[in-house]
Structure 1
Amino acid sequence: MDRTVTVSHSGSFAHVLQTFAISLLVSFLGTLIGAMVVPPSMIMLFVIAEVAMLVAAIVIRIRGKHIGYGFLYAFTAISGVTLYPVIMAYGGMLGANVVSGAFFATAAIFGGLAFYAHRSQRDFSFLGGFLFAGTIGLVLMSVIGMFVNFGSITNLIWSMLGILIFSGWVLYDVAQYRNGVSSEEVPLAALNIYLDFINLFLYILRFLASIVGISRD
């Protein structure tokens, strides 16, 4: 996804963060719905819908148009539904307390990086090419992982790269949005930050699971 935006003060950074926070809440509600209402046999339909909406967001952006708040919250709700089985799987492997700890660790890392990017006023645009290439690499690894069972060491390296790359995206995106965006761009900015946070969380969970796997080998 094209993660650059036209800077404007009509949508403040605080507004972007507020929209991101609401997106996290909507995602959490989606996770509850996934736990209580959605049968496991239907999860794949939500995964397909999630991917389709991501592709749609890219196409909309390429065409110079904007996603709306309805699109953003629908996506994060669906994302929450698809997160439920993943979190349950890690919970069974690591324990609920470790998963909760991973979430708070993610929040702490995200908050620290966001604070640094906002207050330092450094230009992190030079990271864009590396982060894009790294993200494509992670996607390819995910596709290969559907057919190949990676060992614990490979998963550990993969998770460390994922943590590094999405930590970089936090720096990059916050630096892009810290001076405000146009009001039409707020949902897209919040979506990008939401994806940064969720992927950072998932790679931290993968990292912890890899350590457990290595200890059991």
Structure 2
Amino acid sequence: METIQVNQRSMFQKVLGTFIVSLLIATVGLYVGQYIPPIMMFPLAALELILIISAFWIRKSKSVGYTFVYVFTFISGITTFPIVSHYVSIAGAQVVLLAFASTFGIFAVMGIIGAITKKDLSFLSTFLLVALLALVFISLFNIFSPLNSGGLLAFSAIGSIVFSLYIMYDFNQMKQHRISEEMVPLLALNLYLDFINLFTYILQLLGIIESDD
């Protein structure tokens, strides 16, 4: 029993290590993004979406590898640059730094809560999936019929809450279920998606508040 616990702790640490490497690679991608022509951002965003769909499609076979995760996070960093650049221009670099610090703090707190909670939170999966689909639908709706600042503020706040809960949920599921070696890349990718989406929503939220002042 003790050997299993030690192995699980080792796998958990490996997931976190892969997640941190993913963030670093995304940061490199963010830096590279400033040199990418704007016309290339849409094809890269489309590729990012295809990779996400592919990841969820093949997740049952647990065949998502490290190369897949690192390529995805690099592209994700590139496509995040226009968002960061936009809010730097309208609200200032301090808002971006505050958004990152807030994201890191929330990620740490919700991760700890999820990891120490003894109750299995798998019952949240349906609610979170429905909430995620609602966010996607509203995002698509916003493209064709832009929300006003109040609607966008509420949307950003709800998105921040949803991905905060996703962080707690994903950490809890790693605790509740045995982590195998082949699952590590996919679990790290889940954490990365939680982090980058939470960061985007918080940045949007703070950007709106700052620009309305």
The answer to whether the aligner puts 1:177 opposite 2:171 as a matched pair is no
User: Are the counterparts in 1 of residues 135 and 159 from structure 2 also a CA contact under 8 Å?
Assistant: yes
Residue 120 of structure 1, CA deviation: 2.8
State the partner residue of 1:194. Answer: 192
Between stretches 10-19 and 201-210, larger displacement belongs to 10-19
Q: 2:8 aligns to what SS in structure 1?
A: strand
Q: Deviations over 1:105-160 (max 9, x none)?
A: 11011101111211233322121111100000000011111111211110111111
In structure 1, distance between residues paired with 2:20 and 2:211: 33
In structure 1, distance between residues paired with 2:62 and 2:11: 20
The answer to whether the aligner puts 1:157 opposite 2:154 as a matched pair is yes
Letter in 2 for 1:45: P
In structure 2, distance between residues paired with 1:120 and 1:61: 25
State the partner residue of 2:100. Answer: 103
Q: Which runs of 4+ in 1 moved over 3 A?
A: 8-11, 212-215
Between stretches 17-26 and 114-123, larger displacement belongs to 114-123
Percent same amino acid among aligned pairs?
Answer: 38
In structure 2, distance between residues paired with 1:138 and 1:106: 19
Q: Deviations over 1:72-117 (max 9, x none)?
A: 0000000000000110001111100111111011101110111121
Task: Extract unaligned runs of 5+ from structure 2.
Answer: 1-6
The answer to whether the aligner puts 1:12 opposite 2:11 as a matched pair is yes
User: Are the counterparts in 2 of residues 53 and 75 from structure 1 also a CA contact under 8 Å?
Assistant: yes
Aligned length: 206
State the partner residue of 1:58. Answer: 56
User: Are the counterparts in 2 of residues 124 and 175 from structure 1 also a CA contact under 8 Å?
Assistant: yes
Q: In the superposition, relative to structure 1, how do residues 189 and 93 fare at CA in structure 2: closer, same or farther (>3 Å)?
A: same
Residue 213 of structure 1, CA deviation: 4.8
The answer to whether the aligner puts 1:119 opposite 2:123 as a matched pair is no
Residue 181 of structure 1, CA deviation: 1.0
State the partner residue of 1:132. Answer: 129
Paired residue for 1:44, among 42, 45, 52? 42
Q: 2:144 aligns to what SS in structure 1?
A: coil
Q: 1:66 aligns to what SS in structure 2?
A: coil
Letter in 1 for 2:143: M
In structure 2, distance between residues paired with 1:55 and 1:116: 29
Letter in 1 for 2:168: L
State the partner residue of 1:3. Answer: none
Residue 65 of structure 1, CA deviation: 4.1
Q: 2:146 aligns to what SS in structure 1?
A: coil
Q: Deviations over 1:51-87 (max 9, x none)?
A: 010111122124x241100000000000000000110
Q: Deviations over 1:8-66 (max 9, x none)?
A: 8396111111100000000000111111x31111111110110010111122124x241
Letter in 1 for 2:88: G
The answer to whether the aligner puts 1:94 opposite 2:87 as a matched pair is no
Q: TM-score, normalised by structure 1?
A: 0.90
Q: TM-score, normalised by structure 2?
A: 0.92
Letter in 2 for 1:28: T
In structure 1, distance between residues paired with 2:211 and 2:141: 20
State the partner residue of 2:203. Answer: 205
Q: In the superposition, relative to structure 1, how do residues 15 and 65 fare at CA in structure 2: closer, same or farther (>3 Å)?
A: closer
Choose between structure 1 and 2: higher helix proportion: 2
User: Are the counterparts in 2 of residues 31 and 84 from structure 1 also a CA contact under 8 Å?
Assistant: yes
